[in-house]
């Protein structure tokens, strides 16, 4: 006979504890353990347990399928937003589940409403379920976006069971958006909406219904103070794709970043600009991240990195500032790059090139709010640091790329031709990196060791001393 039991579950990671504790042993979060009650099966043991196992083994087996399928894969559904389709790997997958996270007010609902308008205007059935806003609020946003006439079905509800039933009963449904998964609840789960049990149960019911009806499901997720999607980590394993919508709310640009995708590249990138009429696509994000360089005089501590995100080349400026030697411990601050790689680059520059960074404050930042993940950014960051220390500007017409080894050697990086082709298209004439560039219109500046990079930047002329400020 079933009995009611209580468990103590961490609301950050979903870890189960026997008793309440102030700190979770699994993830280290404080004050995140909450008692949850629910119906559990009564324990069985001895001969009764063995009999249950034997009876279960006599049940119907699995229906096996061959590895080679006879039906071709279904075509993807285009949202009408090229940047969103690029981040998804080519569009929405029928029956796929997508989790979209981002800070409050960053534009998640705006982006998804625009995507739903594009899918609906193409003749597909779509449903928008909001647990945070009323229908009139959604209609007001759609009117501001110019989507008031789009055939989008709306619902303001928080019941996951009702949403799953609607998914299965709606014919030819292609897309359903749940905004957000933390507001949904399942009957019979004795915990508040947003708890680990409710989020996990709601997502499981909705994903199963979407796969049976072959409709694309998009779940909007809240994020924590650390930027991770709130709720159990298992939620990211249940879905097929995880997208993060990032950007500074005080700035006009937004970045849609894929961190997981079973149907496309896991590091694809989409760039948008927030306007009064909604989100506008930025088809050439390199010009956005390099917009401040247009018409600018040469400055020290700036180098352009020829990067790559997903299937797209991306040029971005890396900026550095090195202070004068002083007493006390020097500061090391980095934005948009790994602090451990900054420490490694400084150690290589000191040990292999003899540059005096000890005792100096060092600040490094990636322009535009983009975060660089690939090791190929090592040489660009080193070029910016060398330029700031020697007070000589890095060549304005040169891009930098390559991984820096602890021995001081420059290691080659993949997709070199695509990086350099993007540099030529944006007007750059030189490329500094490992090996020889073989792209028409681009001069190669081979960097085999860190000394070659120091020689390249040291050959640039010193900038004229700034004039004293006039305080009259």
Mind listing the pLDDT tens digit for each residue in 89-137?
899 999 999 999 988 888 999 999 999 999 999 999 999 999 999 999 9
| 239 contacts 98 by C-beta, under 8 angstroms | yes
> For 405-415, how does the pLDDT look when each residue is reduced to its tens digit (9 = 90+)?
999 999 999 88
Name the percent of the chain lying above pLDDT 70: 88
Instruction: Compute the mean pLDDT over every residue in the chain, rounded to the nearest whole number.
Output: 86
Task: Answer whether residue 73 shows pLDDT above 80.
Answer: no
> For 315-345, how does the pLDDT look when each residue is reduced to its tens digit (9 = 90+)?
999 999 999 888 888 999 999 999 999 999 9
Name the percent of the chain lying above pLDDT 90: 51
State the CB neighbour count (10 A cutoff) for residue 405.
16
Please report the pLDDT score of residue 5 as a whole number: 64
- Which residues are within 8 A (CB) of 91 and not within 5 positions of it... i.e. 6 or more apart? 76, 77, 78, 79, 85
Structure tokens at 102: 């981002």
Tell me which range, 326-335, 392-401, 454-463, is most confidently predicted by mean pLDDT. Answer: 392-401
> For 261-305, how does the pLDDT look when each residue is reduced to its tens digit (9 = 90+)?
998 888 788 889 888 888 999 888 887 777 667 667 889 999 999
What's the CA gap between 351 and 337, in Å, rounded? 22
Q: How confident is the model at residue 463 (pLDDT cuts 50, 70, 90)?
A: confident
**What is the reported pTM?**
0.73
Residue 464 DSSP class: P
What's the CA gap between 285 and 268, in Å, rounded? 13
Please report the pLDDT score of residue 32 as a whole number: 79
Task: Answer whether residue 467 shows pLDDT above 80.
Answer: no
Q: How confident is the model at residue 180 (pLDDT cuts 50, 70, 90)?
A: confident
Please report the pLDDT score of residue 465 as a whole number: 61
What's the CA gap between 288 and 345, in Å, rounded? 27
Which is higher by pLDDT, 84 or 369?
Answer: 84
What average pLDDT does range 172-176 have in this prediction?
Answer: 95
Q: What is the dihedral of CA 228, 229, 233, 239, to 10 degrees?
A: -130
Q: In this predicted structure, which of 90-94, 215-219, 369-373 has the lowest mean pLDDT?
A: 369-373
Please report the pLDDT score of residue 294 as a whole number: 65
| 48 contacts 54 by C-beta, under 8 angstroms | no
Q: How confident is the model at residue 1 (pLDDT cuts 50, 70, 90)?
A: very low
What's the CA gap between 310 and 314, in Å, rounded? 10
Please report the pLDDT score of residue 231 as a whole number: 59
What's the CA gap between 118 and 39, in Å, rounded? 44
SS3 content of the chain, % helix, strand, coil (to 5): 30, 25, 45
Task: Answer whether residue 367 shows pLDDT above 80.
Answer: yes
Q: How confident is the model at residue 230 (pLDDT cuts 50, 70, 90)?
A: low
Q: How confident is the model at residue 435 (pLDDT cuts 50, 70, 90)?
A: confident
Task: Answer whether residue 400 shows pLDDT above 60.
Answer: yes
| 428 contacts 401 by C-beta, under 8 angstroms | no
Please report the pLDDT score of residue 282 as a whole number: 86
Q: What is the dihedral of CA 233, 239, 241, 245, to 10 degrees?
A: -60
Please report the pLDDT score of residue 105 as a whole number: 85
Tell which phi-psi region holds residue 111, choosing left (phi > 0), alpha (psi between -120 and 50) or beta: alpha
Please report the pLDDT score of residue 252 as a whole number: 79
């Amino acid at each position: 006979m079933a009995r009611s039991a209580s468990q103590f579950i961490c609301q950050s990671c979903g870890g189960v504890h026997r008793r309440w504790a102030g700190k979770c042993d699994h993830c280290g979060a404080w004050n995140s353990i909450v008692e949850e009650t629910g119906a559990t099966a009564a324990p069985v043991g001895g001969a009764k347990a063995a009999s249950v196992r034997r009876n279960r083994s006599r049940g119907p087996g699995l229906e096996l399928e061959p590895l080679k399928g006879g039906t071709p894969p279904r075509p993807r559904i285009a949202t009408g937003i090229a940047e969103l389709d690029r981040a998804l790997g080519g569009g929405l997958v029928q029956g796929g589940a997508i989790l979209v996270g981002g800070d409050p007010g960053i534009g998640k609902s705006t982006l998804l409403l625009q995507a739903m308008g594009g899918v609906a205007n193409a003749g597909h059935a779509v449903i928008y379920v909001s647990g945070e806003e009323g229908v009139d609020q959604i209609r007001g946003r759609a009117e501001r976006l110019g989507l008031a006439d789009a055939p989008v079905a709306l619902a303001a509800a928080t019941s996951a069971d009702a949403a799953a039933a609607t998914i299965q009963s709606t014919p030819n449904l292609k897309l359903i958006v749940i905004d957000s998964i933390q507001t949904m609840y399942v009957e019979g789960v004795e915990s508040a909406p947003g708890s680990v049990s409710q989020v996990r149960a709601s997502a499981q019911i909705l994903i199963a219904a979407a796969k049976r009806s072959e409709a694309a499901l998009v779940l909007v997720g809240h994020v924590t103070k650390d930027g991770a999607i709130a709720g159990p980590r298992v939620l990211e394993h249940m879905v097929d794709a995880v997208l993060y919508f990032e950007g500074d709310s005080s700035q006009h640009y937004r970045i849609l970043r894929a961190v997981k995708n079973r149907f496309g590249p896991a590091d694809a990138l989409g760039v948008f600009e927030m306007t009064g009429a909604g989100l506008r696509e930025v088809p050439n994000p390199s010009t956005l991240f390099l917009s401040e360089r247009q018409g600018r005089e040469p400055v020290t501590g700036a180098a352009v990195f020829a990067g790559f995100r997903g299937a797209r080349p991306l040029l971005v400026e890396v900026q550095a500032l090195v202070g004068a030697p002083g007493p006390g411990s020097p500061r090391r601050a980095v934005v948009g790059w790994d602090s451990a790689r900054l420490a490694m680059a400084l150690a290589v520059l000191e040990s292999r090139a003899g540059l005096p960074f000890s005792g100096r404050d060092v600040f490094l930042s990636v322009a535009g709010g983009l975060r660089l993940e690939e090791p190929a950014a090592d040489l660009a960051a080193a070029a910016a640091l060398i330029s700031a220390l020697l007070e000589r500007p890095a060549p304005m017409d040169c891009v930098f790329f390559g991984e820096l080894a602890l021995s001081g050697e420059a290691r080659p990086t993949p997709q070199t031709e695509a990086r350099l082709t993007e540099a030529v298209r944006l007007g750059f004439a030189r490329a500094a990196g490992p090996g020889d560039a073989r792209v028409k219109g681009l001069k190669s500046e081979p960097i085999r060791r860190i000394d070659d990079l120091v020689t390249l930047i040291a050959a640039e002329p010193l900038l004229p001393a700034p004039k004293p400020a006039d305080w009259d």
